């Protein structure tokens, strides 16, 4: 059973922050998620395996489904609940079914990261036109951009950044080959956001 799926991402978010929960809620396909809920993200290969792992979680626990996505290469599910025990139970049920442990997940890898200082008005407009879900970036702000692989790990980075510093969430994308986040604010807060995000990812254990 253990070799039936490749566990790419397995993360539990303890308490969804206001901006993070709001952006997630605008794109979620299933049950609505709200600020303060706990959340489980699992990303696997092959992608079509998401149907079975979602079935396991829904039949054995009280966690509610946000989405099940099959991409070209990978599949991903999201479940959430007002109780962190519900999402932990969902994760445990899936791991148990496949004879896996949390240490069988992949470690996240930072693919790229950069800070843009004093964002030009024209570039701010380009970013805002391309962004439909989060906040808008104001000319003169600083912006931090982070890319991580596997993609779903970007979610916990975004949530922890919002929990620990005062920045605006421009947008983030936890689906696909790479996960990306964009946050903005003053220089000091953006630098703090960078440190928090990278530290969170570096402290996630798993296989190389």
Sketch the domain layout of the chain as residue ranges. Answer: 2-104, 109-202
Instruction: Give the model's pLDDT for residue 26.
Output: 86
2-104: which CATH topology?
Alpha-Beta Plaits (3.30.70)
Confidence of residue 2 (pLDDT cuts 50, 70, 90): very low
Rounded to the nearest integer, the mean pLDDT of the chain is 94
Instruction: Give the model's pLDDT for residue 80.
Output: 97
Domains 2-104 and 109-202 alike in fold: yes
Model pTM score = 0.92
What mean pLDDT do residues 64-73 have? 92
Res. 183: pLDDT tops 90: yes
Query: What is the per-residue pLDDT across 187-202, written as a single tens digit (0 to 9) for each?
Result: 999 999 999 999 999 9
Distance CA 39, CA 47 (A): 20
Instruction: Write phi, then psi, for 172 (nearest 5 degrees).
Output: -155, 155
CATH 3.40.50.300 correct for 109-202: no
Res. 1: pLDDT tops 60: no
Cβ-based burial of 143 (10 A; exposed 0-12, middle 13-18, buried ≥19): buried
């Amino acid at each position: 059973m253990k070799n039936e799926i490749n566990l790419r991402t397995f993360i539990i978010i303890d308490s969804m922050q206001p901006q993070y929960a709001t952006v997630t809620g605008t794109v979620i396909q299933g049950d609505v998620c709200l600020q303060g809920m706990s959340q489980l993200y699992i990303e696997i290969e092959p992608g079509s395996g998401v149907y079975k792992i979602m079935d396991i979680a829904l039949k054995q626990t009280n966690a509610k489904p946000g989405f099940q996505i099959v991409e070209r290469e990978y599949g991903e599910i999201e479940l959430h609940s007002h109780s962190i025990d519900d999402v932990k139970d969902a994760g445990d049920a899936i791991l148990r079914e496949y004879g896996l442990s949390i240490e069988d997940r992949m470690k996240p890898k930072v693919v790229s990261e950069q800070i843009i200082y004093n964002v030009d008005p024209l570039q701010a407009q380009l970013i805002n036109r391309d962004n439909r879900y989060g906040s808008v970036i104001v000319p003169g702000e600083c912006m931090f951009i982070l890319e991580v692989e596997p993609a779903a790990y970007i979610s916990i980075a975004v949530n922890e950044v919002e929990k620990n510093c005062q920045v605006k969430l421009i947008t983030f994308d936890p689906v696909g080959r790479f996960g990306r986040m964009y946050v903005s604010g003053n220089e000091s807060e953006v630098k703090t956001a960078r440190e928090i995000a990278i530290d969170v990812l570096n402290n996630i254990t798993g296989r190389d």
